[in-house]
Amino acid sequence: MDQIMGNIDLLIQFPIVNLKIILDGVMIGALFALAAYGLALVWGVMNVKNLAQGDFVIGGGYVSWWSYHNVPYFHPLLGVPVAFIVMWALGWLTYKLVISRVIERDLFTSLLATFGLAIMYAQLMNLMFGSDTQSLVLDVTGLGLENNYYFADGLIDLPAAKVIGVVLAAILATGVILFMKRSRMGQAIRATAQDARAARVLGIDTEKVYAFTFSLNSAICGAAGAIIVMVWVIQPFYGITYSIRAFVIVTAAGLGNLPGVIAAGLGIGAAEQYGSHIFGIGYQQAIAVILLLMVLIYRLVQQRRNRQVMQ
């Protein structure tokens, strides 16, 4: 208790620390928002709640990590497109083998099937890469930048890797949004999300759209993972917390609400950083999950109010 009060005291006495926490949270939250956007896409288009979302993220991280250690002259930044492509293929395979068979079924089926997939992927990664936490060091001194920038007498440190990560995440998100808005396939995806039957009547091959959407989701997650491995650590069993964070964000923001997803992503990143600063780093995973429960309860209360209005 004393420790918690002390930590809160620190925040009040040195307001600059708040800035550091928020900055850290926003940078990490940008990556959460990416995974959440993929989840919202799959959820909205094919009504599948993908609990293996986080394992795609971690999978992308391991693709980048493995390439760095096994391919000569491999730059960590190159991992982002490589992970995008590899995870695209894996997502397509997953869709063809499992997801395509659960789309028409009830929601619990898809939830449980993807939970099984999550366990399988986590264990496969554990067998292939070992259970140690891994990360890559992004050295940008070659590009004429410093690895760390300091502000406010060194109280705030801003690693270049994190800034690059956020920029990459932003580029990726912009690319996906433009694709969804402008391209023919993006239009088809949006049409299928609105009404799959009508889309089919109008000549859209919804099966193809579903496969494409799921692969795209997996690829986005993979790219996010390749960024995460540079700014954070990955471990085969960290996937489930990313899935839960994605669920928190999508549940809080609502489906098809893109600005909401971004805002909720950044918000949960900041909330987690605050929580782990105040309660200690050991609570970071717990905070992500408790936020989920809080969001669910909040939605429940909101719905209850709606129901009373109806009467």
Partner 1 sequence: MKIQKIAFYGVLLAITVAAPFLFPSFSTQLATLWLFIIVSMTWDMTGGQMGYNSLGNIFFYGTGMYVAAVIAIGLVYDVGEYTGASGGGRYDFTNEQYILGFVLGSLGAGIFCAISAVILGYVLFGLRGPYFAIGTLGTAIAAGELVSNWDWVGGGQGITLPVYSGDFDQTKLFIYFAFAITGVILFIFLKWLYTTRFGAAINAIRDDEEKAEAMGIHTMRYKLVTWAMSAFFIGVVGGISAFQLISFEPLETAYQTINLGIFMVVCVLLGGKGTLWGPIIGAIMFQIFKEVTWNYFLGWQWVALGALIVVTVVYFQDGLMGWLRTQKPEWFGVVVDDKDGEAVR
* Interface contacts to partner 1, rule CB under 8 A: 49, 98, 101-102, 105-109, 111-113, 115-124, 126-127, 240, 244, 247, 251, 280, 282-283, 285-286, 289-290, 292-293, 296-297, 300, 303-304
Nearest distance in Å: CB 289, partner 1: 4
Q: Do residues 242 and 289 lie in contact, with contact meaning Cβ atoms separated by under 8 Å?
A: no
CB closer to partner 1 out of 103 and 169: 103
Nearest distance in Å: CB 247, partner 1: 6
CB closer to partner 1 out of 97 and 178: 97
Reduced to 3 states, what is the DSSP secondary structure of residue 101? helix
CB closer to partner 1 out of 68 and 274: 274
The structure tokens listed for 74 are: 């491999």
Long-range contacts from 105-108, C-beta under 8 angstroms, 24+ separation: 107/47, 107/49
The structure tokens listed for 251 are: 């549940």
Reduced to 3 states, what is the DSSP secondary structure of residue 96? helix
Residue 141: burial class (beta carbons within 10 Å; 0-12, 13-18, 19+)? exposed
Report CA Rg, the chain: 20
CB closer to partner 1 out of 30 and 250: 250
Cα atoms found within 13 Å of the Cα of residue 263, Cβ hemisphere only: 8
234: enclosing H helix or E strand: none
CB closer to partner 1 out of 188 and 218: 218
Name the DSSP class of 95: I
Nearest distance in Å: CB 166, partner 1: 27
The amino acid at residue 167 is V
Nearest distance in Å: CB 113, partner 1: 4
CB closer to partner 1 out of 126 and 194: 126
CB closer to partner 1 out of 74 and 283: 283
Using CA atoms, how far residue 93 sits from 103, 211, 272, in Å, is: 15, 9, 34
Dihedral angle sign, alpha carbons of residues 252, 257, 258, 259: negative
Rounded to whole angstroms, the Cα distance separating 185 from 173 reads 17
CB closer to partner 1 out of 18 and 257: 257
Ranges assigned E (strand) in the chain: 148-151, 156-159
